[in-house]
Homo-oligomer: A and B are copies of this chain.
Amino acid sequence: MALLVQKYGGTSVANAECMRNVAQRIARTRSEGHQVVVVVSAMGDTTDDLIALAKQVNPDPDPREMDMLLATGEQVSIAILTMALHHIGVPAISFTGPQAGIFAESVHLKGRIIDVRPKRIVEALRHGKVVIVAGFQGLDEQEDIVTLGRGGSDMTAVALAWALKADRCQFFKDVRGVFTADPRIVPEARKLDEISYDEMLELASMGAAVLQSRAVEFAKQYGVPLEVLSSFEDEPGTIVREEVKAMEHVVVRGVAADRNQAKITILKVPDRPGIAATIFDAIARANVNVDMIVLNVRSQGQLADLSFTVPEGDLKVALKAVQSVVPEVSSEGVIYDTNIAKVSIVGVGMRSHSGIAARMFSALAKAGIDIHMISTSEIKISVVIPKEKADEAVRVLHREFRLDRPVTTVRTRVVRRRSRS
């Protein structure tokens, strides 16, 4: 008998029928002898509808009141799912975030969980109940409701799994797991049986967005085993866990493209101490996350262009922030480009394998794909290319690194040798 935390997202609980299906799924897990704690998001478009309603009375609503409003979405979900479970004879009880003992910093709309005291959950489990918890919400020290920001329900699930010492935290999605590439672009893309936390983090940050980064970081820090699996099919998904030696046999785990990036270039930046700090301070104050940064100074003291990418939705805010400091940092001004895509390959095996970058660039060159920017980390190589080439680039790289071949403990050796070439 295991203790499982299961998280169902908004599309899995979009309407009454979906709720009934999720209830059946939970009932099956329970009938296998497991204890189950379930975290749910708001149903379908509920959150968007509530935001639209708020904007009708106030274009700039107060964050505390916005949290008061948004928290109702998850509260509806937990009640409905619990009723659906009762209807098929499964004992269950719902808890709001506060009732579940989720405590958060008093930062409205983006609270961070600071403590989990799941007393009521433990008690309900002891009484043989399935426990349904509202994701995305907690209580601050004033006893006000605080929501946990984008992907907050994932955070709730991982934090509960940690606090309850759950055997696994399962994320039910409209995909069957984590793939070597987006199967809509690469038909031969393969579902991965397992992946390391770090690889998952790089995948999430590059737009594959299967799990929320904060949740994966937390899981990595506390060693909470995760699983991504389908809400519609009854099959094992992808396990996300601590890196093991065998994982290094696979050099490239997956390829992903992010089309929602924009590139900003500040022209002719003088090579002076503190210039970069001035620029990225201004952007950070505007609450924009910068992704890739490329600065290439030819020789000390010279002028050079500084480029970086931001989420396309943040472009306007980022440009405004940059323009406010341009007079002091640039001799020629700012340009930007939204017609770009970022394509990345990820794999912990890269750490111990050389030549991967060269192989990536040459495969793209052979396919006639221009590279505008390059950025690398220990386990990821990303390039910025023209947006219309993104799908082709993903297919080219998937083929180049033979990601369609299943990886088993035996076969990895073969793959490894090949990758070294």
Contacts and interface: CB of A to CB of B under 8 A. Distances in A.
Helix, strand, loop or mixed for chain A's interface? helix
A79 B65 contact: yes
A82 interface: yes
Interface residues of A, number: 37
Contacts of A84: 57-58
A50 interface: yes
A240 B81 CA distance: 44
Given A71-B75, A86-B65, A143-B99, A80 B54 contact: yes
Interface in A30-73: 50, 53-54, 56-59, 61-62, 64-66, 68-69, 71-72
B75 A61 contact: no
Contacts of A64: 93
A16 interface: yes
Given A16-B57, A20-B57, A68 B62 contact: no
27 contacts: A16-B53, A16-B57, A20-B57, A50-B76, A54-B83, A57-B81, A57-B83, A58-B83, A58-B86, A59-B87, A61-B83, A61-B86, A65-B79, A65-B82, A66-B79, A68-B78, A68-B82, A68-B96, A69-B76, A69-B79, A69-B83, A71-B75, A72-B72, A72-B75, A75-B75, A99-B143, A99-B144
Interface of A: 16, 19-20, 23, 50, 53-54, 56-59, 61-62, 64-66, 68-69, 71-72, 75-76, 78-84, 86-87, 93-94, 96, 99, 143-144
